[in-house]
Structure 1
Amino acid sequence: METQLIVGSVVLINRGAVEGKTIQQISDFATFRALAPVNTKNLAIDSILTLFRDDAAPPALTDFDKAYLSAYYSSDTQILSSDQVMSTIGEQYADAQDRED
């Protein structure tokens, strides 16, 4: 049985905020925001979700972003607690970092 996780989504971005941002950055940001709920208030990791918070935002989705989305939509984590999902995200992020080194 398939689970429908998204019925619809809208991402609104202030026109003035996109000045100096690339199409890649804006599309990655909007896609991430549309696909997964994330509280970015205290986010202290390299992520496209910091695009409108500082000038040092990454040029595209980061390894953390990809690990988050992968873990969030993994069939293995759909019935787990948020702590277990966060653990899976951490493991996938660490694996991605190891591959880069």
Structure 2
Amino acid sequence: CTVSGGSVSSGIFYWSWIRQPPGQELEWIGYVSYNGNTNYRPSLKSRVTISLHTSKNLFSLELSSMTAADTAVYHCARLYCSGGSCHFDYWGQGTLVTVSS
């Protein structure tokens, strides 16, 4: 997910991935912070890697051992935190990933 109009090195943002399986609610996958620290959804932790690529000003998602249950629209988003509260303020358009069984 390429970031424009800002830097992935900014310390107040958490660069996040969220997915939405067909007919289901949004599901947070995890985030990477400006210094490379990560936080993942516990149920996906063993399969997910979110990486920061500062030289290209982007962040990426890798999900291993995918099955049909991972079929979803995958969104990148910026999580902004200030004054003890956080919210997603910018979203990518989303990419549909279909895994056939």
Greater RCO, 1 or 2 (C-alpha within 8 Å, sep 6+): 2
Larger strand proportion, structure 1 or 2? 2
Which range, TM-score by smaller chain?
under 0.3
Larger helix proportion, structure 1 or 2? 1
- Name which one, 1 or 2, has greater alpha-carbon Rg: 1
